[in-house]
Amino acid sequence: MIVVFLGPPGSGKGTQAKKLSQELGIAHISTGDLLRDAVKRGTDLGKRAKEYMERGELVPDSLIVSLIEEVMPKDGGFILDGFPRTVPQALALENMLEGYGKHVSKVILFEVPEEVVVDRLSGRLTCSSCGAVYHVKYNPPKQEGVCDLCGSKLVQREDDKEEVVRRRFRVYKEQTEPLVEFYKGKNKLISLDATQSVEEINKKILEVLKDGG
Ligand code: ADP
Ligand code: AMP
């Protein structure tokens, strides 16, 4: 099963992908997490991606496609969270999967309005070490400022400042939203009201994946 999570930043893709990956025992591939790790380690990719990420713009397709080629599991299912984000990336994904005789099973669209995104991202806290995600109001850690899972410090992502969040939302509308039509045309798209609770959304996704559509 190869599932793509599509939706604006802050729509809850990472939260659901982490849950689902545990529940179904399939891999979770987040290009955002991989890029942040590359920036932290100061790799060549990290150096090239850093400024785009800080500005809230997309990292060039060629870098992202090479990254995905490197990490994509050859066996077993996986969830793609935050990739593809442009039509050229979606086409590259199709080519890559074809090479292994595979295809995208389903694309789940997380629908939320801009103000919900701003509210969620302004309160998002991310673990500086393991990448776990919390929210000051909607999913607070047990101890303030400390990760429940690994005990490290929780921080606000630089690109979660309101001005950058609004730019990221605009970038989503302009460059990523065309993928809605792209996947609708292939009969793969399932839209979800992503303003619901984490549990409700999780339940819906499990239903959709179980009954094949
Ligand atoms: P994305 O991966 O799409 O950018 P995240 O999963 O990181 O989004 O979620 C963004 C923020 O919103 C996080 O702080 C998360 O805890 C919170 N969040 C996620 N899903 C929900 C939800 N259904 N209701 C309220 N808050 C949520
Ligand atoms: P995310 O964690 O998914 O919100 O991604 C954080 C940032 O990483 C984005 O704002 C982009 O700069 C970059 N990024 C992540 N995935 C992609 C992608 N598929 N294409 C281009 N840039 C990406």
What is the position in ligand 2's atom list of the atom closest to the CA of 57? 12
Closest C-alpha residue for ligand 1 atom 18 = 12
- What pLDDT, on the 0 to 100 scale, is given for residue 44? 97
Residue 85 has pLDDT above 80, yes or no: yes
Residue 213 has pLDDT above 50, yes or no: no
Averaged over 28-54, what is the pLDDT? Answer: 96
- What pLDDT, on the 0 to 100 scale, is given for residue 74? 86
For the stretch 112-142, pLDDT in tens is 999 999 999 999 999 989 889 999 999 999 9
124 is annotated as an active-site residue = yes
Q: What band does 212 get if pLDDT is binned at 50, 70 and 90?
A: low
For the stretch 139-178, pLDDT in tens is 999 999 999 999 999 999 999 999 999 999 999 999 999 9
For the stretch 9-19, pLDDT in tens is 999 999 999 99
For the stretch 172-191, pLDDT in tens is 999 999 999 999 999 999 99
Kindly list the structural domains of the chain, giving each domain's residue range(s) and its CATH number in brackets, ordered by start.
2-114+161-210 (3.40.50.300)
Lining residues, ligand 1, CB within 6 Å: 7, 9-15, 120, 123-124, 133-135, 138-139, 197-198, 201
Residue 119 CA to ligand 1 center (angstroms) comes to 10
204 is annotated as an active-site residue = no
Ligand number with the minimum distance to the CA of 126: 1
Of 13, 18, 36, 120, the catalytic one is: 13
13 is annotated as an active-site residue = yes
In degrees rounded to 5, what are phi and psi of residue 88? Answer: -55, -35
Q: Which residue pairs, CB below 8 angstroms and at least 24 apart, start in 136-143? A: 138/198, 139/15, 139/198
Q: Which residues contact 61 (CB under 8 A, 6 or more apart)?
A: 86, 88, 89, 92
Residue 176 CA to ligand 2 center (angstroms) comes to 11
Q: How many other CB atoms are found less than 10 A from the CB of residue 115?
A: 9
- Output the CA–CA distances (angstroms, integers) from residue 150 to 127, 128, 136, 153, 171, in the order listed: 9, 10, 18, 9, 33
167 is annotated as an active-site residue = no
Cβ(89)–Cβ(61) below 8 Å = yes
Of 106, 124, 173, 184, the catalytic one is: 124
Which tokens in the block code for residue 34?
């991989």
